[in-house]
């Protein structure tokens, strides 16, 4: 019996990176999955979760070079304020207005 799949596991990493090593490990996992990532599936799953997770996913996929048209459902999700990229990190760092994300990772820029 299958309980999860790579896309669901990657989303779990965006919401609870402390259970996956840390946020850097989650980003590495996205890069390693690369072309094998089922983008439609992960977007479909994300849209059933909270807006912060949707925006984090959009930011990550955007950084991985995903075409903007494929990210439009994520971009259209409404959010009232900026959310931190790493939910376990401090609330400081540059803000990315495209995704309403505060990039709170060391050495990262919006």
Structural contact between residues 18 and 88, judged by C-beta atoms closer than 8 angstroms: yes
Report long-range pairs for 77-80 (Cβ below 8 Å, ≥24 apart).
Answer: 77/47, 77/51, 78/51, 79/51, 79/52, 79/54, 79/55
- pTM comes to 0.93
Instruction: Express each pLDDT in 63-89 by its tens digit.
Output: 999 999 999 999 999 999 999 999 999
Angle (nearest 5°) at CA 99 between 55 and 66: 80
Helix axes 51-63, 68-75, angle to 10 degrees: 160
- Give residue 3's pLDDT band: very low, low, confident or very high (50, 70, 90): confident
Instruction: Express each pLDDT in 87-99 by its tens digit.
Output: 999 999 999 999 9
């Amino acid at each position: 019996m299958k309980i999860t799949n790579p896309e669901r596991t990657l989303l779990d990493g965006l919401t609870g990176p402390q259970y996956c090593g840390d946020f850097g490990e989650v980003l590495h996992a996205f890069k390693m999955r690369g072309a094998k990532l089922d983008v439609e599936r992960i977007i479909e799953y994300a849209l059933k979760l909270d807006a912060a997770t949707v925006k984090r996913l959009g930011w990550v996929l955007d950084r991985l070079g995903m075409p903007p048209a494929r990210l439009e459902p994520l971009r259209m999700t409404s959010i009232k304020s900026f959310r931190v990229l790493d939910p376990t990190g401090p609330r400081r760092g540059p803000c990315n207005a495209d995704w309403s994300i505060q990039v709170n990772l060391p050495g990262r820029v919006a």
